[in-house]
Every structure is written in C-alpha cells, then in structure tokens.
Chain A
Amino acid sequence: MRAAPGRKHDGEEEPARARLVAALVGNPNAGKTTIFNALTGMRQKVGNYPGVTVDKRVGQVRTEGGAAIDLIDLPGTYSLVTLSLDEQVVSDVLHGALAKERRPEALIAVVDASNLARNLFLVSQLLDLRLPMVVALNMVDVAEAHGRPVDASALESALGCPVVAVVGHRRERVRGLGERLVGAPVPPAIVHPVAEPMASEERRLARAIADVDGLDEVQSRIVARRLLTAEPGRDLARLRDGHRAEIEAARARLESTGLDPAQEDIEARYRWIDEVVARAVREPEAHAPGRRTTTERIDAILMHRVLGLLVFVGIMTGLFACVFWVAKPMQDGVKDGAAWLGAQLAARMSDGPIKALVVDGVFAGVGAVLVFVPQIALLFLCLAALEDSGYLARAAFLMDKLLSRVGLHGKSFIPLLSSFACAIPGILAARTIDGRRDRLATILVAPFMSCSARLPVYALLVPACLPGSSALTQALVLFGLYALGILAAVVTSLVLKGRLARGDRSAFILELPSYKRPQALQVLFQVWTNTRAFVTRAGTTIFALSVVLWALLYYPRLPSEEAARFHDDRARSAAQIEHSVAGRLGHALEPAVRPLGYDWKMGVGLVSAFAAREVFVSTLGITYSVGAASDDTRDLAKAMRQERRPDGTHVWTPLVAVSLMIWFVLAMQCMSTMAVVRRETGGWRWPLAQLLFMNGSAYVVCLAIYQIGRRWLGG
C-alpha cells in the first residue's frame, strides 16, 4: 500500500503489454468528462476503487495508428496534495499507491484555457510525476471570447510537452490527443526556486535521498520538496519510512523560522505559472478591461440579491414539478405495464407457490423498483443539466448561509432537494460535499425529506384523518407533512452540529465556473449511468425485499380445511395474511404499537413498508380484503372507516391517522436507504444510528401525540 514516490510499479510485468494505461487528470469544471466521453465514446466501464466510494471510470481509446489505450478518468482535483476523498484517490492512483491498481504510464492533463493560471497549478504538480504527458487545452473558444486567447504552441514550448487545443464539446481535435499521447516524451521537470532557508534544507534532504535511492538531482529535489511540504497527518505518513528522522528534523527547523514550506512551494509554482501565462496568452488582461463576459452578465441576474433568489425558487420549483408531475404518467404507465404482464403470466400458470412467487413476489418486486425509475431518471436529467450549465455551484452559493446556520453546507441543498424524490440519489449526491462532517450530516438528515414513496401513504391517510374535508384542507395537511420532515431535518442537524467530529470543520471554498450550454449527449449519458447505478444499487435491495416480503406474507399456508371455510377469495387471503409470518409479526408487534394507536394490521403494513414505503398501502389493501392490485384506494378507505375494534369503537380515528402519518414522516423504514448509507459511510455504524434515532424519535412523538390527543379529545 505505502509506496515511495518514484517507486516503479512494474512488479507484475506482463510478457506482452500492448495496452498503454493513461490517466485523464484535470481541475473540476475543466471539461474533463466531455473530453473523456469524446475520446472513448461508449466504450467505458464504471467501477469502484477498493474501499472507497469514488467511481472509477475506465474507457478504451484506439488511435488511428492502431495503438490501444486504457484511459482512466480520474475525479476532478485542484491539487495532488489531498484534501477530499476524491483528491486522495487521484493522488494515490498517480503515485501508484493503490493496491491492485496499475500506475498510469502516461497522462492527459485537461486545462481550461479560460482559467489558465489556476489550471496550470495542477499541471505543475503533474510535471513532478515524471510521466509522459499531453496537455488538452480545452475551451479555447471561451478564452478567445474573453479576449485572452491562448497560444497553444507557445504553451507547448513553455511546458515542454505536447499541447493540443480542443473544444471538448465539439469533439474538435479531441481524437488527436490519443495520437500525441503515444510516444509522448517525459516533459522536463522543474525545481521551482524557493527562498532560504528552505532551499538549503531541501538540498540537504535531496542529497540524503539521492544517495540511497539512486535518483538524479532534479528527481531527488522534487521528492525532497514533497516531503517538506506534505500534510503532516495525511500525506507524510504515506510517503516513506526511510529518512524519517532527517525529514522531521528539517521540517522542525523550518517551522522554527516561522516559514511555511507549503506556502513557499505553492507561491513558487505560481511565480512559474505567471511566466508561462505571460508567454502563452497573446493579449494581456489590460486589453479588455470593463468588458463583461457572458457569465458575468448572467450572474448579474442569477446571483442578484432579489432576482437571483426568485430565479432560484423558480428553477427549483420547476425541477420539483418535473419530478412529480411529468413523471406521474410515466410511473402510471410502468405500473400498469408491470401489472398487465403479471396478469398475462398469471393466466398462463397454474395456482400454487410458483405462480404466487412469480406474480406477487418477482413481478411486484420488479414493479416496485421500476415505478421509481421515471422519476429518478428525470431528477438526474434536471440535475445533470443544471450541473453541466454551471448553475449548481451558484445554488450552493445562494443557499450556503441558510444551510450553514443549521450546521449544513451550501452543497447540501441539492442532495436534500433530491431526497424529496428519493433519499438514495440524494445521499449519492452528497458526494460532492468535500468536508466529511458536512457530508455525513447531509446523509443523516436526507431521509427526513418526504420522498415520493411516502406520497401514496399520505394520499391514503390524509382523507382518513380528515373525513369529509375539502381538497384545500387536505392539501394544507399534506404541505404540513412535508414541512414537518424539513423541521425534523433542521432539528436533527442542529443536534448534530456540535457533536460530529470537530476535526473536519468545514470550509466553503467553491469555484463558480463559467456558464455553459449543457451538452445533450453528455447529459443523457450521465442520466443513463446514474439511473443504471440506482437500479443496480437500490433496485437489488428493493427487489430482494419484495421477494422476502412475499414469502413472509405467503408462508405458512392456511391449512386447507380452514381455507375451505372461506367462500370469498378476498376474505380467504385476509385470513391467510393473519396466519402468515408477517401476520404473526404484526400481532407480535401490536403491544409495541398499540400505545401509538395502531393495530396488528397496521403493524403488518409497517413491516412491509421496509421494502418500500408505498408497499404499506397495498399490504393494507390485502389485510382489509379489498385486494392489492387496485390503484384506487377508495375501497380501502371505506373498509378502513368501517373497521371496528372488538369493543365496537372505530379503529381508524383521525388521531390514529395523524399518528401514523407522523410515523411515516419521521421513521427510517427503507432498507435500500440504509444499504446506501452503509456504502457511503463505510460501515453499519451510521445507518444503525440513523435507524435508532429516527425510529426512536418517531415513536416518542407519535406516542405523545396519540396519548395526549386521546386524553384531550376523549377518544
């Protein structure tokens, strides 16, 4: 695992290594993904780096000369000295420090020509790696429009490596990158001059290293620089075990002079960058003062104190409307299609456990997964378009103040908004938050947002709690349920604020990239990969649980002599449920949920809701013998109203419905969410804490409401 810098990663040399392994590296927003897609087409695979939740994308490039390149798309990074998880992976891959990962043999550095100086900082660190490199000079058109065109050939001679000017989204000359990469030379390394006493400490350390490792002078200076400037906690420990005493002594001496080696190094690199920029940018900045760029003109509106907020609310409302109203007919179509197919199959099979498994287990399970897909895909579509345009960074900027007050981050906004559709994409979207503390807090509160799977439950229960009320009243109650979820999230994050690890105190350092027109192909490609990831990650859990749930409801079978007593199919299946494992679980749960006002049937429903919350409705449909298939819940609502306890009182009082609705707002009842939280946080600790906290507080709140309400209302 721990590799020294410059270590050769040729341990497992293959006899015929025909393929070149190259890495695509660049700043966030430099257009790296566009170039990756243009180079590799659809020939790419998404995997994972071992032990971390950073996606690994590898694509194949075949050059016109016939060479084959395996291109790794590394996450966007500003620096090789690490701050975030993504950057850690980039640094580890490039230094060959990840077990089982081959160290890249060549680099393509993507550089945003319209933001040359800042992008060249990473390039200065890449040059230290001593690997063959080609620079993809992207967005040359934008730089030109800004009045600061970059001269690729001047940049090429300044950097000493091939520079290919490209416009990523037009695929112009992108293919040329592959050709230039094959046989590209190792660009000359640069020792960026620093002041005394750092320079002499560096030379001394370099000599010690050179003697042992047999490095040349420049290489050993680069290594020494890295050792002097590395983060003590994170980086230095990974670097090397040898020379530890010399390194620590040198760092201590420098520290005692009050000098920060990291700062000296970074400033030295920027001095070099200023020279390179002066050579490569044809028109100096002074040429176009006062001329506003397109981005500045757009920001004058979108970032305006009043207008900006209005547009923000408008965009987010539009996104919401898209995810709920546009998706609705598609979801209905999926549901009907699955039901129809199931019915077709059922008609062709004989009764028995196999048929029941296929129809009620497998088909219901597939349906339960697929019904979310249109909505999730639309959500990903909106987000990908917003991200590609550059607006998401603005959303974080606009919302940071409000969110940081309750202990979250501006970048928490999108994950939380997504969670109104489904907590799973929301939790995945939290990966964009750099600070571990903020990311964790966001993941922990995301499930409080009322997801779309709660909506069918609310739709059943709101009329049940307010029989005969107007549509407006019901809408207000529905709104109240959403608001309650948000309130719970705010309270929770305030509770978490002081309690989560303080070491990872968050900062807000965010680039606001230039606006771009979203690229349809790129957006659709992202929708496709993300939706596929959702189906495989969440879908497998939902599907598996649906099958388990089916078995719990199906077994053990009612003895045939007892089943024969029922002439009505529906009454028989209701009796079967009571007899099943799930029914027994419901009865076993009854003493625990009785103080909240629930009976055993609701208990069964709550158990079943662990597959997906909306399954609660269909399970109640079965237990109330109105059938599960019907989408129309009016029969069910009627059956619920007529249900009475043995003592003749109504089971479904408004208070019970309120208590149950609040349970659904507050409780963690989604196994797939827990599975995703486990993946994202790297263990069961947080999902279990979440389960205990959410269900515990749901229990306490519902208990208080039901018990106080009962005394107060006398019911």
Chain B
Amino acid sequence: MAAVPSTVALESNAAPLSRPRAHLVDASHSTLDSLAVGARGRVRAVGGEPGLRRRLLEMGMCRGVTVEVVRRAPFGDPIELRVRGYALSLRAEQAALVVVSVEG
C-alpha cells in the first residue's frame, strides 16, 4: 500500500504518469487508495496512462463526483467503491491515480 501523500499536485499532466505527483497544494487532498473504508472523497484529478485514465473517467470517475470507499477485499486489495450509484472495484494501484479531496 502506498503511503498517504500529505499533499498532491493538481496541475493537469499531458505526459503519461504512473501516479499523480505527490507534492504541493493542501493537506485535505489525498489519493483514493489511502481513504479509509467508509470515507468519501470528491474527485479532483485522474492520472495514469491515457487508456487507463480514459477508462476511469468513462466509468464515471470525473472531476467533482463523490466517491465512497465501501470495503477492501479480504487480502487488502482491490477496493470497492461507490460512484454514481453503482459499485466499482479498483486495485489500490489504480485507485492511487485518483486524487480526491476528503469529505466529512
């Protein structure tokens, strides 16, 4: 599991990224893989190589949408999310591409 990045970059990146750059902005931002079960976040940016990022967006993971972490699989990975009213599961590796602002 990736360590919780305290701050995360929000600038858009044209170059393919393996994960969003972990520096800058403010402490309320995090990546989706580091949210606790039951926590909600609002999507701020989606990284990853173009095909993967496209698929995440197509599945409804757009900027501004609220995502809830429903559970983790028995071995800690993947993660089940609730987004736009349906259940989507991602490996932590892919969830780490999604930058969220944590909601109360």
Q: A residues engaging B (CB < 8 A)?
A: 78-79, 81, 83, 114-118, 121, 148, 231-232, 255-256, 258-260, 262-263, 266-267, 270, 285, 295, 299, 303, 305-306, 308-309, 393, 397-398, 400-402, 404, 410, 507-513
| Most chain B CB neighbours (cut-off 10 Å) among A295, A299, A397 | A397
Are B53 and A260 touching (Cβ within 8 A)?
yes
Q: What would be 26 A-B contacts, judged by CB atoms less than 8 Å apart?
A: A81-B58, A116-B85, A117-B60, A117-B84, A148-B85, A258-B11, A258-B14, A260-B14, A262-B50, A263-B46, A263-B53, A263-B57, A267-B62, A397-B78, A400-B91, A401-B76, A401-B78, A404-B77, A507-B90, A507-B91, A508-B89, A508-B91, A510-B89, A511-B88, A512-B87, A512-B89
Are B52 and A78 touching (Cβ within 8 A)?
no
Distance in angstroms from B82 CB to nearest chain A CB is: 9
B13 close to chain A: CB less than 8 A: yes
How far is A397 from B77 in the complex, measured between Cα atoms in Å?
Answer: 8
How far is A507 from B94 in the complex, measured between Cα atoms in Å?
Answer: 7
B59 close to chain A: CB less than 8 A: yes
Interface string of B41-67 (1 = CB under 8 A from A): 000001000111111111110110100
A81-B58, A115-B85 known, 15 other contacts, Cβ within 8 Å = A78-B59, A83-B54, A115-B86, A118-B60, A118-B86, A260-B12, A263-B53, A263-B54, A263-B57, A267-B57, A507-B91, A510-B90, A511-B86, A511-B89, A512-B88
Are A303 and B71 touching (Cβ within 8 A)?
yes
A258 with B94, Cβ < 8 A, contacts A263-B57, A397-B78 known: no
Residue in chain A with minimal CB distance to B84: A117
Are B73 and A401 touching (Cβ within 8 A)?
yes
Instruction: Kindly list chain A residues whose C-beta atoms are within 8 Å of the C-beta of B63.
Output: 267
Instruction: Kindly list chain B residues whose C-beta atoms are within 8 Å of the C-beta of A509.
Output: 52, 55-56, 59, 88-90, 94
Residue in chain B with minimal CB distance to A119: B86
Residue in chain B with minimal CB distance to A434: B55
Are B55 and A397 touching (Cβ within 8 A)?
no
Instruction: Kindly list chain A residues whose C-beta atoms are within 8 Å of the C-beta of B93.
Output: 507-508
Distance in angstroms from B19 CB to nearest chain A CB is: 13
Instruction: Kindly list chain A residues whose C-beta atoms are within 8 Å of the C-beta of B58.
Output: 78-79, 81, 121, 266
Instruction: Kindly list chain B residues whose C-beta atoms are within 8 Å of the C-beta of A115.
Output: 84-86
Instruction: Kindly list chain B residues whose C-beta atoms are within 8 Å of the C-beta of A309.
Output: 74
Are A305 and B74 touching (Cβ within 8 A)?
yes
How far is A404 from B73 in the complex, measured between Cα atoms in Å?
Answer: 13
Are B80 and A81 touching (Cβ within 8 A)?
no
Instruction: Kindly list chain B residues whose C-beta atoms are within 8 Å of the C-beta of A259.
Output: 12, 14
Q: B residues engaging A (CB < 8 A)?
A: 11-14, 46, 50-60, 62-63, 65, 71, 73-78, 80, 84-91, 93-94
Are A266 and B12 touching (Cβ within 8 A)?
no
Distance in angstroms from B44 CB to nearest chain A CB is: 13
How far is A309 from B53 in the complex, measured between Cα atoms in Å?
Answer: 31
Instruction: Kindly list chain A residues whose C-beta atoms are within 8 Å of the C-beta of B11.
Output: 258
A266 with B77, Cβ < 8 A, contacts A303-B71, A508-B89, A508-B90 known: no
How far is A285 from B58 in the complex, measured between Cα atoms in Å?
Answer: 21
How far is A295 from B74 in the complex, measured between Cα atoms in Å?
Answer: 18
Instruction: Kindly list chain A residues whose C-beta atoms are within 8 Å of the C-beta of B86.
Output: 115, 118, 511
Instruction: Kindly list chain A residues whose C-beta atoms are within 8 Å of the C-beta of B12.
Output: 258-260
A266 with B54, Cβ < 8 A, contacts A258-B11, A509-B90, A511-B86 known: yes
Are B77 and A401 touching (Cβ within 8 A)?
yes
Are A510 and B88 touching (Cβ within 8 A)?
yes
How far is A267 from B12 in the complex, measured between Cα atoms in Å?
Answer: 15
| Most chain A CB neighbours (cut-off 10 Å) among B12, B53, B85, B88 | B85
Instruction: Kindly list chain A residues whose C-beta atoms are within 8 Å of the C-beta of B14.
Output: 255-256, 258-260
Q: Which 10 A-B pairs have the closest CB atoms?
A: A401-B75, A512-B87, A508-B91, A266-B57, A117-B84, A115-B86, A258-B12, A305-B74, A267-B62, A79-B58
How far is A305 from B77 in the complex, measured between Cα atoms in Å?
Answer: 11
How far is A232 from B49 in the complex, measured between Cα atoms in Å?
Answer: 12
Instruction: Kindly list chain B residues whose C-beta atoms are within 8 Å of the C-beta of A285.
Output: 85
| Most chain B CB neighbours (cut-off 10 Å) among A121, A266, A393 | A266
Distance in angstroms from B93 CB to nearest chain A CB is: 8
